[in-house]
Amino acid sequence: MTIAGACYRRTRWAALAAQLILALAAAPPALAQDFTSWGWPRPYERVSDGSIAWLKNRGWWPMGIAWQPVASGQNAANIVMSKLDLLGKRGIDAKFRGYSAGVGVNEGIRSERMQVGFAGNVPFVELLGQSVPVKAIALYAPNLKHSIVVPVNSPVKSLSDLKGGSKPHVIGIVMNSSAEFYFAQAAQLAGLEIGKDVVLKDTPIANQMRLPSGLAAVVLWEPSVTVLTQLHGTGREIDTIFPYSFNVGYLLVRQELIDNVPDVVQAISDSYQEAVLWLRLNSDQTADMIADEPMLRTYDKTHFVRQAKLYNNLLKPTYTYPVAGFWAEENTRVASWLQRQNARIRRPIGAAEFEDAFDRRFIDRTYAKLGWTLPSRPPFLPRDWAGRIGDLPYPAYGNVDTMKQSQAWPEPSDLVRPWTFDGKTYRP
């Protein structure tokens, strides 16, 4: 094929993609809908034969999805997507690959071995800083609990106890992760100097769970925090993430999918939101699904059911919506920190670029199919919240430590037309 021919094909694909995105966004919902018991409207929309052919020609078939089994919230949603074959119902052959942390997810996306990924805020910012062509189309597990945990018999009661020792205390942590960003913010407020009072040792989660004697503390995220502190009883929390960071995970897709096969991206958005709804109705049924995952077989089934309920059902299901301005502002803090950390990203990233990194057209249409109102603020943020992004510590807001029951859902203001869930029809 000539260069001119190749350019024509790329231009044609881009034009068709743009037309399809506009058509999808403009398409009105069906007047009469048949809902599944978990609230998804049928029939399922299937991707086009042309999109499947494009994926196959690119070598992206089956489509690769990178995720982290040992991270509450995303693990249950990904397992439901896979076990119920929600992408297959829409015509997509997908293969899910689990990684122990976001570093692996990033490498999969960067190398194009994975075309879709679930990654936390720090990995996402790193991808943007390295100019990897990705967009965030949805959120998962906002305010996933991270904690600093010490052995249960440790004399350390708070972060300030780690200051001024005869030698630095060694902290086990997954580097280049949301845990590291959290620890950096907490240490600064506690007056700890990293490199002097404490040193960070890159330690996989599996090793942190053993609380090896050479570590004064470890920095974990759920479900591992509760396993150590409650189920095993070998660890004790001395600090948690909530005053220092609005942590969140992102559903990421490579830009090529948006440009060339937007119906595939729409199917990804729909499948993920359907998994969230299925979990809302069927959380108790996730135990065996989760237990089948090789990286999770040593965990307690009952614990995973509780975690699935906490990180999927506590907030309104609109937690998946990327309110771009809010999250862009929080992400600029992560970017500034990464730039200062030995230039892990080599250029500044401002709020405007982060807002552009969210492509909300797909989740907008997902919500339109459901008849949901597009939220203007994260559901965990109180209306009278007096905090400001970057002014630490943050005042209290909705998370697993502060919420005693699930948010009411749906309220009339959450809907733009009737929606049926578990046999009951709700109206705006």
Residue 382 covered by a domain = no
Label residue 260 by pLDDT band (50, 70, 90). very high
- The pLDDT value given to residue 26: 43
pLDDT tens digits, one per residue of 143-183: 999 999 999 999 999 999 999 889 999 999 999 899 999 99
- The pLDDT value given to residue 102: 86
- The pLDDT value given to residue 347: 86
Mean pLDDT along residues 261-268: 98
CATH of the domain at 217: 3.40.190.10
β-pair partners for 200: 171
- The pLDDT value given to residue 345: 84
Considering the chain, what percentage of its residues have pLDDT values greater than 90? Answer: 81
End-to-end CA distance of the chain: 55
Residue 420 covered by a domain = no
Residue 387 clears pLDDT 80, i.e. is over it: yes
Name which of 41-55, 311-325, 345-359, 370-384 the model is least confident about. Answer: 345-359
Residue 288 clears pLDDT 90, i.e. is over it: no
- The pLDDT value given to residue 292: 78
Label residue 10 by pLDDT band (50, 70, 90). very low
- The pLDDT value given to residue 342: 63
Mean pLDDT along residues 10-29: 46
- The pLDDT value given to residue 403: 97
Average pLDDT, the chain: 91
Clarify whether residues 223 and 317 are in a common domain: no
Residue 425 covered by a domain = no
3-state SS class at 148: strand
Clarify whether residues 297 and 349 are in a common domain: yes
pTM beyond 0.75, yes or no: yes
- The pLDDT value given to residue 421: 97
Mean pLDDT along residues 307-316: 94
- The pLDDT value given to residue 404: 93
Residue 27 clears pLDDT 60, i.e. is over it: no
DSSP assignment string, 54-99: HHHHHT--SEEEEE-TTSTTHHHHHHHHHHTTTTGGGT--EEEEE-
What span, in angstroms and rounded, lies between the C-alpha atoms of 341 and 303?
36
Clarify whether residues 299 and 370 are in a common domain: yes
Clarify whether residues 263 and 210 are in a common domain: no
- The pLDDT value given to residue 55: 98
- The pLDDT value given to residue 31: 46
Label residue 293 by pLDDT band (50, 70, 90). confident
Listed residue (121, 208, 119, 129) closest to 170, CA to CA: 208
What span, in angstroms and rounded, lies between the C-alpha atoms of 283 and 93?
25
For the record, the structure tokens of 333 come out as 């803090």
pLDDT tens digits, one per residue of 184-209: 999 999 999 999 999 999 999 999 99
Structural domains of the chain, count? 2
Clarify whether residues 196 and 330 are in a common domain: no
- The pLDDT value given to residue 304: 84
Considering the chain, what percentage of its residues have pLDDT values greater than 70? Answer: 92
CA-to-CA separations, 266 to 20, 55, 196, 262, 344, in angstroms, rounded: 11, 15, 49, 6, 32
Clarify whether residues 235 and 359 are in a common domain: no
Mean pLDDT along residues 382-402: 96
Clarify whether residues 116 and 29 are in a common domain: yes
Which of the listed residues 240, 255, 284 is the one where a domain comes to its end?
A: 240
Q: Which domain holds residue 56?
A: 3-143+247-374
- The pLDDT value given to residue 11: 40
Label residue 300 by pLDDT band (50, 70, 90). confident
Clarify whether residues 259 and 226 are in a common domain: no
Residue 29 clears pLDDT 90, i.e. is over it: no
- The pLDDT value given to residue 32: 55
Contact 112, 254 (CB under 8 A): yes
Residue 331 covered by a domain = yes
Query: Rounded to 5 degrees, what are φ and ψ at 207?
Result: -75, -35
- The pLDDT value given to residue 240: 98
Which of the listed residues 240, 263, 293 is the one where a domain comes to its end?
A: 240
Residue 92 covered by a domain = yes
